[in-house]
Each structure stands twice: as C-alpha cells, then as structure tokens.
Amino acid sequence: MALCSNSSISSSSSGGSSISSSSSSSSSSSSSSSSNSSSNSSCSSCSSSSSSCSSSSSSSSSSLVVVVVVVVVVVVEVVVEVVVVVVAVVVVVVVVVVVVVVVAVVVVVVVVVVVVVVVVVVIVVVVVVVVVVVVVVVVVVVVVVEVVVVIVTTATQTTAAVVVVVIIVLIVVCYVILEPCLL
C-alpha cells in the first residue's frame, strides 16, 4: 500500500513516470499473485500429505484391531479345545475307575458267595456222612444185638429142652433099672 501511494505521488509530478510506476505496480501484483498461488499449492500439498498420514494411521489402527481380534479368537478356541480335552480325559478316567471298582466289587462278592456255598456244601456233606455213619453203626449194633439175643435165646431154649430130655431119659432109665429092685 505505501508503494502504491508513492507511485501515485510521483505520477502527479511527471506523466511519464506515472506510466512506468503503473507498470511496476502491475508487475508487483503479478509477482504477489504468483507467490499466493505457490503458497496455495504448498498448502494443498500439506493438506494432502496430512490426509494421507491420517488415512495411514487409521488403516494401521484398524489392522491392529483385526490382529488383536484374531489372536483373541485363536486363544479362546485353543482354551476351549484344551478344556474339552481335559474334561473328556477326566470323564474317561472316572468311568474307568468306576467300572474297575464295580468289577472288583462284583468279583469279590462272587468269590465270597462261592466260598460260602462251598463251605455250606462241605458242611452239609460232612453232616450227611456223619448221620449215615451213625445210622449204619446203630443199625449194625441193633442187628448184632438182635442176633446175639436170638442166639442166646435159642441156646437157652435148646439147653432147657436138652436138660428136660436128659432128665426124662434119666428118670426112665432109673425106673427101668430100679423097678425090679422095688418089686
């Protein structure tokens, strides 16, 4: 603005210099316009670079979020699979232990029952054998006693009969022998 006012003062003093001052003002205006345009272009380049920086930062942050989400999903899947495997192993171990315990209890019960049955059978057999032996002994004793009694009774009866016969024979003989003497 001061340059323009000085050129107008000089133009009032001389006409030729006014033409030159106007031309010089026009050149200065063109140079200022060119400088403005260059500054505008530099501003536009700065704005474009800032936009590219912001876009790159947003893309990097979004990729970081995606990576974090993928890692979290993978970790969760691995943890779930490990938990499932551990639970399956625990269930299998518990089932095997329960089956082994049940089989052991059944085997023990069967063995105890078999032992008890065998003992009972042995006791019954022994009792039956003892009873049979006792019965046989009693029967043999009774038969022997009866035979002895029969033998003794028969012998007694035979002896008595023989004694009676002998007495009768002696009486007859004595009578026959002594009858003439008595007469």
Torsion angle (degrees, nearest 10) of CA 136, 141, 147, 150: -130
How many Å apart are CA 44 and CA 32, to the nearest integer? 18
Buried b (16+ CB within 10 A) or exposed e, 43-67: eeeeeeeeeeeeeeeeeeeeeeeee
Q: Tens digits of per-residue pLDDT, 4-25?
A: 444 443 333 334 443 333 334 4
Residue 129 CB partners (closer than 8 Å, separation 6+): none
Q: What is the pLDDT of residue 86?
A: 97
How many Å apart are CA 54 and CA 48, to the nearest integer? 10
Q: Tens digits of per-residue pLDDT, 45-56?
A: 444 444 555 555
Residue 129's domain spans which residues? 2-182
Count the domains in the chain: 1
pTM (2 d.p.): 0.41
Residue 121 confidence (pLDDT) above 70: yes
Q: Tens digits of per-residue pLDDT, 69-118?
A: 999 999 999 999 999 999 999 999 999 999 999 999 999 999 999 999 99
Mean pLDDT of the region 49-69? 68
Q: Indicate the range of 44-53, 83-92, 118-127, 130-139 predicted with least confidence.
A: 44-53
Residue 123 confidence (pLDDT) above 50: yes
**62 neighbors 37 (Cβ within 8 angstroms):** no
